[in-house]
Structure 1
Amino acid sequence: MTNRRFELFEYRQVLVRMRQGDSDRDIARSGLMGRKKLTAVRRVASERGLLDPGQPLPDDAVIAGVFGRTPHLPSTCVSTLEPFREQIRDWHDAGVQGTTIHHALKRNHGYTGSYSAVRRILLGLRAERGVPATTILEFAPGEAAQVDFGAGPVLAHESGAQIKTWFFVMTLCWSRHQYVELVLDQTVETWLACHRRAFEWLGGCPGRVIIDNAKCAITRACMYSPEVQRSYAALAEGYGFRIDACPPHDPQKKGIVESGVKYVKKSFVPLRTFRDLTDANRQLREWIMQQASTREHGTTREQPLARFAIEKPLLTTLPDVAPVLAVWSEVKVHTDGHVVYKKALYSVPFTLVGKSLWLKSTDTIVQLFHQHELIATHPRLRKPGDRHTVRDHQPPAAQAWLEHDPQWCLARAKEIGPSCHALVLAMFNDTVLVNLRGAQGIVRMREKFGDQRLDAACERALAFASPKYRTVKTILDKGLDSQPGAASAQTSTAPADTYLNGGRFGRDLHSLLLH
């Protein structure tokens, strides 16, 4: 009891009783102070004239000055770590653990003291820093909701693999009624879809949504001007709520949902089994309505569901047509004229190769924008590696190659003349070369030489058993198309199908050996 610290009101009561004539034994018997302490107090009070009943009892400031505890003198013992105090302070401010600091001092500075010395100096530094004060945030009904992700249970897949899950939790700040869903990822698509289902579950939308700085919502965390993910900003505009991002590394600003996530983990997950994700979410909905929202909340001391009955009419009414959930991504056009999104490829006009575009993806379509102008629309592809190419997006040479197929070449050759048609058929009958470009080049010659000359050149090429692009071009360049054909070409007007089946120009091995 010798080290007991007496409060000011106890000194005052002792002085009153001494002024009334009570002995130290009587006062000690009441339990106010021990007789040894009372003797010291009576001596000091007599010296200061505080026991004179004719004088008014001094105020608390005077009594505190006389009997207040005398501060301890600074210890004369100097810590062996005093030369390293500033270094230890820097490490402590950086969040380095005490044991790590102790090992670093031993390793780098030859320190031979114990860890207890490190612990004592760290306690002193923490006392200097003080305890930060917090502020309780008050919310009106319907004003705000807080949203967060939390680690969920590991589910067993039918293949035997373990699937990691997360809880999506949205808690109304006033009523504490919440929406909880178990999901498999934290992508932008999941984030947006969970918001929609949460608003539909609550039957309305709060005025603002308080979040942390998850990448699916905030692309650049900043205390004063955070940058919101474009997809999330569009959802907020569609539903009419405002986004309130917490300052970086300050989760206390959304402490309501932080507590909600802990409550879900500790109250819902233990002693439960889940067949799959669907079964887990079914149990979650039942748990919310039958336990979580019907309990007496530790802060409000009311049932969240009962308070929600008051808050629900004050939520913003949901739009008649729900906003389209669209994910915006910035993509770059590759040299093949395609962009990649979710491992699928989508074409854009070839003139945009190397440029950055905005891609808007929904469940059904993918749209691409350049400087706010829609330039391409594709169906949404789901299988990695799939490609959707619009022919008009390709360069002219590629379009010509794709559009001018063998059937197109044959149709144009037939318009030119029978010899041209027969020569193109013979080219396509080649068993080694495709000859598509050669056939395209022959048909294109009509623009320079005309149908009559081109058909005559093809006739001469057939007469010399050379159905090739180079042969026809040489004949036209040298003007040989107007000369009569060789004597061996008297049967050059054979039916076209003979060139297809190798009749005129096809010879078997026996005939080749004889000649």
Structure 2
Amino acid sequence: MVLDPQRWLELRRFRALFEAGAVSLTEIAKETGLNRKTVRKYLSGQAPSAPPKRTSNGRPRKKVVDEVAPLIDAMLRAEILIKGAVVHERLASEYGSTINYQRVKLYLQEARPRVAAELGITPRELAGLHRRFEVVPGAQAQVDWGDEGKILAHMGIAKVYSFHMTLSYSRDPFCCFTTSQDLQTFFDCHRRAFAHFGGVPMSIVYDRTKTVVRRHVAPGEAVPLHPEAVGFAGHYDFDIDVLAAYRPTGKGRVERQVLIVRDHVLSGRSFASIEEMDAAFMAWVPQRRARTHATHHEVIGERAARDHVALKPLPPTPYLVAERHLRPVGKDCLVAFDGNLYSVPARKVRPRQLVEIRATKTQIMLHATVPDSGGQTLLAMHPRAVGRRVRVVEEAHWDGLPTGRGRRTTTGDVPPQPRRERLPGEEGGPLQALLSRAAATQVEVGRRPLSVYDELTGTRPFTTHPATEESL
């Protein structure tokens, strides 16, 4: 079979990748739509090294794309990653070109690297392909989440997630199932994975999940990491490797494991709890380790043994992962967090003072933002409340505050106290008479006619008309 120039050019771009072992003949045949034998013939050097380029008269054949090549090059210089469909659309709408889209696409495959070299930049995408990489034992692991949906909905659990960690050298898997993807759960799953493997890899690959990346940034900028992720990685002594946005092929090993676990562990089965799902995975692990992997062509368990030996040892104490928040202290010495209230010592805080809350899955720790004279910041520690609208108070925190015991109140249910009779010879003073209602009723009050007050003020006394009195 003799390829036409267009198909030959399309096949030629795979030569370097094939010689480097990055792609197989089957993958190239699938990508180009050619027979596998034809691909082998042209990439192994058995076919002509170049397509026919000359006509019968010996002059170079003129290409249709040559007429619009300067326009395409100009578009590439303006945007090196411009898509072929956009180039073809603009050629047709702005310049009235009738060139075929396939010719534009083939020309871009040749022109894009050339123009990028002229501009001194490297395109971030090359025909959707990626470079395969291999690592040494213990060098890397990859982490990802899987969404298992409503697999436990019949037990009242709305959603279940699967956490996956895969050792890149051996493809040895770890998986556990959770009902949350929060910060504490994420790194608790890490600790379980490290215990499962018996050590810590030198680096872990993540996508831009919010438990690792503090915020998203533009391509090429430094990625700000979550403080707890930095602290956790420093405690266990591994490097964080964050992928570029929208690059799932960078952690293809664990991406594939999510599907494998879903098919071999969960498919066609019913479970009653998270613990049953974890037990089902652990029961399947020996079967997985006994298989020969299709990529490295070795038994996964044998390769995993070398992987485990090269891992770093676990630290003697685990890292305590906590959410950190700033909250003000109320006048009642209570701090609100997650719909609940927690007390702090009244003698160590003031109203509206900001305190730092460090919340784990089981504890709430309240710290001052400025250390005291002894260098300590811890104010109080409480068990984390379950539910909402719960008050967690330690009575000793209110020492020194008014208790309200001096107030005299009655609810109407207490019988009235009998009045104490005055002893013979006991006389009450003027103040006692004012304070005692019974004594006040016995005070003699002088009575005078109203005319006395009229004379004192010099006003005319009020009189009524006789006719009015008679009419009344």
Give your verdict on TM over 0.5.
yes
Give me the CA root mean square deviation: 4.7
Residue 362 (str. 1) matches residue 360 (str. 2): yes
Aligned 8 A contact 1:180 1:284 in 2: yes
Partner residue, 2:289: 293
Q: Is the 8 A contact 2:184 2:360 kept in 1?
A: no
User: How far off is 1:147 after superposition?
Assistant: 1.0
Q: Which residue of 2 aligns with 1:25?
A: none
Q: 1:119 to 1:391 in 2, by over 3 A?
A: farther
Match of 2:325 in 1: 330
> What aligned pairs does 1:255-404 form with structure 2 within 5 A after superposition?
255-290=252-287, 292-323=288-319, 325-333=320-328, 338-348=334-344, 351=350, 353=352, 355=354, 357-369=355-367, 370-371=369-370, 373-389=377-393, 399-400=401-402, 403=403
SS at match of 1:150: strand
Amino acid corresponding to residue 357 of structure 2 in structure 1: L
User: What percent identity do the matched residue pairs reach?
Assistant: 23
Q: Which residue of 1 aligns with 2:236?
A: 239
Q: Distance in 2 between matches of 1:141 and 1:245?
A: 20
The whole-number CA distance in structure 1 between the counterparts of 2:103 and 2:2 is 25
Rounded to whole Å, the distance in 2 between the matches of 1:141 and 1:457 is: 99
- Structure 2 CA distance for aligned equivalents of residues 364 and 335 of structure 1: 23
Task: Tell me, yes or no, if structure 1 residue 429 matches structure 2 residue 433.
Answer: no
Mapped to 1, the partners of 2:201 and 2:431 lie a distance apart of 79
Whole-Å separation in 1 of the counterparts to 2:250 and 2:199: 23
- Distance of 1:457 and 1:196 partners within structure 2: 80
Q: Equivalent residue of 1:219, what SS?
A: coil
C-alpha contact (below 8 Å) 2:150/2:160 kept by paired residues: yes
Return the alpha-carbon distance in structure 1 between the equivalents of residues 430 and 205 of structure 2: 79
Candidates 188, 206, 215, aligned match of 1:193: 188
CA displacement at 1:338 relative to structure 2: 4.6
1:388-426 Cα deviation digits (max 9, x unpaired): 346787899xx43xx1x2xx317xxxxxxxxxxxxx4xx
2:419 corresponding residue in structure 1: none
1:360 to partner: Cα distance = 1.2
Residues 1:461 and 1:200: Cα distance change in structure 2 (over 3 Å): farther
* Matched residue type, 1:317: P
Provide Cα deviations, 1:21-68, integer angstroms capped at 9, x if missing partner.
xxxxxxxxxxxxxxxxxxxxxxxxxxxxxxxxxxxxxxx9xx989x95
CA distance in 2, matches of 1:304, 1:117: 49
Distance 1:199 1:125, change over 3 A: same
User: Pick from 246, 249, 252: which aligns with 2:249?
Assistant: 252
Q: Would the aligned equivalents of 1:331 and 1:340 in 2 still touch at CA under 8 Å?
A: no
Q: Which one-letter code corresponds to 1:190 in the other structure?
A: T
Distance 1:158 1:461 in 2: 75
1:221 and 1:248 in contact (8 A); partners too: no
State the match for 1:202 in structure 2.
Answer: 197
**2:183·2:321 contact (CA, 8 Å) conserved in 1?**
no
Q: How does 1:53-72 map to 2 (within 5 A)?
A: 69-70=53-54, 72=61
Q: 1:463 aligns with which of 430, 436, 449?
A: 436
Q: Equivalent residue for 2:64?
A: 75
TM-score with structure 2 setting the length: 0.60
> Given that residues 214 and 226 in structure 2 are in contact (C-alpha distance below 8 angstroms), is that contact kept between their aligned partners in structure 1?
yes
Residues 166 and 174, structure 2, Cα contact 8 Å, conserved in 1: yes
Counterpart residue number, 1:471 = none
1:212 aligns with 2:207: yes
**What SS class does the counterpart of residue 214 from structure 2 fall into?**
strand
For 2:222 and 2:436, the matched residues in 1 are separated by 81
| 1:169 paired to 2:164 | yes
Distance of 2:280 and 2:360 partners within structure 1: 30
Residues 127 and 274 of structure 1, relative CA distance in 2, 3 Å threshold: farther
Question: Quick one: structure 1 residues 178 and 458, their matched pair in 2 at CA, closer, same or farther if it must change by over 3 Å?
Answer: farther
DSSP 3-state at the match of 2:174: strand
User: What do residues 75-120 of structure 1 show as CA deviations (whole Å, max 9, x unaligned)?
Assistant: 28999xx99x979x98x9589x99xx99xxxxxx99x999x97788
Whole-angstrom distance in 2 between the partners of 1:330 and 1:124: 55
How many residues of Structure 1 are paired with residues of Structure 2 in the alignment? Answer: 354
* 1:183 maps onto 2:178 in alignment: yes
Amino acid corresponding to residue 136 of structure 1 in structure 2:
R
Distance 2:361 2:429 in 1: 58
Q: Which runs of 5+ in 1 are unaligned?
A: 8-59, 103-108, 411-423, 433-454, 466-484, 490-515
CA change 1:2–1:462 in 2 (3 A) is closer
Comparing both chains, which one has the higher relative contact order based on Cα–Cα distances under 8 Å and sequence gaps of 6 or more?
2
Preserved contact between residue 155 and residue 276 of structure 1 (Cα < 8 Å): no
Q: Which runs of 5+ in 2 are unaligned?
A: 9-44, 55-59, 113-125, 372-376, 414-427, 444-472
For 2:151, the equivalent position in structure 1 comes to 155
8 Å Cα contact 2:152-2:159 kept in structure 1:
no
Partner of 1:474: none
**Cα 1:393/1:282, change in 2 over 3 Å:** same
Q: Please tell me whether the aligned partners of residues 221 and 247 of structure 1 are also in contact (alpha carbons under 8 angstroms).
A: no
> For residues 86 and 274 of structure 1, what CA distance do their matches in structure 2 show?
57
C-alpha deviations, 1:423-454, integer Å up to 9, x for none? x4xxx23649xxxxxxxxxxxxxxxxxxxxxx
Deviation at 1:303, TM superposition (A): 1.8
Instruction: Using the TM superposition, give the Cα deviation of residue 182 of structure 1 relative to its aligned residue in structure 2, in angstroms.
Output: 1.8
Give the aligned partner of residue 54 of structure 1. none
Aligned partner of residue 64 in structure 2, secondary structure: coil
Query: Which residue does the alignment assign to 2:139?
Result: 143
Deviation at 1:189, TM superposition (A): 1.6
CA distance in 1, matches of 2:256, 2:198: 23
CA contact 2:363–2:384 (8 Å) conserved in 1: yes
Partners of 1:331 and 1:339 within 8 A in 2: no
Query: CA 1:185/1:126 → structure 2, altered by over 3 Å: closer, same or farther?
Result: farther
CA contact (8 A) 2:197 2:308 kept: yes
Matched residue, 2:39: none
Cα drift, residue 457 of structure 1? 8.7
Structure 2 CA distance for aligned equivalents of residues 94 and 394 of structure 1: 68
Per-residue displacement from partner, 1:104-140 (whole Å, max 9, x unpaired)? Answer: xxxxx99x999x9778867866775553663333322
Deviations 1:288-309 (A, max 9, x none): 222x222111222112221222
